[in-house]
């Protein structure tokens, strides 16, 4: 009889817990989904030129967001997210590219765990008073006709070059590599199929 009490009491507690959780899930799940989409759209808006709507296409495990202008069928650019190893852990980026995949329109770091004060400058660099986001802004209008060149302590002079962050060369190179790999992958997917989009 003793074990019956144990079963009943644990069962009762679990039932109360399960009921509470399912009620609360009904309440919050739509809001959490809205937050996720909002964050995604913020990321897309930051890397693509001004667009009115976007279409989602999933090819080979990568989700591509094609941005379109108002009343126009021609896309203004394509955005996608990609992730790979940085200095200490995973770096995730949202990358925007022109529709012909030759020029970057913007890069945004979604998540990273790089060294605070050094590697975190790939997101924001408080020590640069003119442009806190100078590192990711370098990728705007970066031309992808050849491999991205990462320069140390030198201002870029050609359109395929970016400058590395002092003290965070590995983080800087990791971002550049993610961009070139992501674009190479996108080219494989989209350039072979001229009819899409």
Binding residues for another protein (CB under 8 A): 2, 5-6, 9-10, 12-14, 16-17, 20-21, 24-25, 27-28, 31-32, 35, 38-39, 116-117
The number of residues making up the chain comes to 197
| Sheet architecture: strand order including 75-85 | 53-59, 62-68, 75-85, 90-97, 104-111
Q: In the complex with another protein, which residue's Cβ is closer, 17 or 50?
A: 17
Give CA–CA dist 14/106, Å, rounded: 49
Q: In the complex with another protein, which residue's Cβ is closer, 10 or 191?
A: 10
Q: In the complex with another protein, which residue's Cβ is closer, 26 or 70?
A: 26
In the complex, the smallest distance separating the C-beta of residue 13 from another protein, rounded to whole angstroms, is: 5
Decide: 86 and 171 in contact? Cβ < 8 Å: yes
In the complex, the smallest distance separating the C-beta of residue 6 from another protein, rounded to whole angstroms, is: 5
Q: In the complex with another protein, which residue's Cβ is closer, 25 or 100?
A: 25
Decide: 186 and 80 in contact? Cβ < 8 Å: yes
H helix runs in 75-166, sequence order: 134-137
Report residue 85 as tokens: 């190893």
Q: In the complex with another protein, which residue's Cβ is closer, 32 or 147?
A: 32
Give CA–CA dist 112/86, Å, rounded: 8
């Amino acid at each position: 009889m003793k074990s019956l009490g144990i079963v009943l009491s644990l069962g009762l507690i679990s039932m109360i817990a399960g009921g509470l959780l399912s009620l609360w899930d009904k309440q919050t799940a739509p809001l959490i989904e809205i937050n996720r989409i909002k964050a995604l759209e913020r990321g897309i808006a930051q890397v693509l030129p001004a667009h009115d709507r976007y279409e989602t296409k999933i090819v080979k495990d990568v989700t591509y967001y094609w941005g379109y202008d108002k009343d126009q069928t021609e896309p203004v650019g394509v955005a996608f997210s990609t992730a790979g190893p940085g200095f200490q852990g995973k770096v995730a980026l949202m990358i925007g590219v022109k529709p012909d995949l030759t020029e970057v329109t913007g890069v945004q770091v979604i998540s990273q765990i790089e060294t605070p004060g050094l590697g975190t400058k790939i997101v924001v660099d408080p020590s640069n008073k003119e442009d806190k986001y100078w590192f990711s802004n370098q990728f705007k209008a970066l031309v992808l006709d050849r491999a991205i060149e990462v320069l140390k302590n030198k201002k870029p002079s050609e359109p395929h070059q970016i400058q590395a962050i002092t003290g965070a060369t590995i983080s800087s190179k990791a971002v550049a590599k993610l961009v070139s790999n992501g674009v190479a992958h996108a080219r494989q997917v989209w350039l072979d199929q001229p009819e899409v989009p």
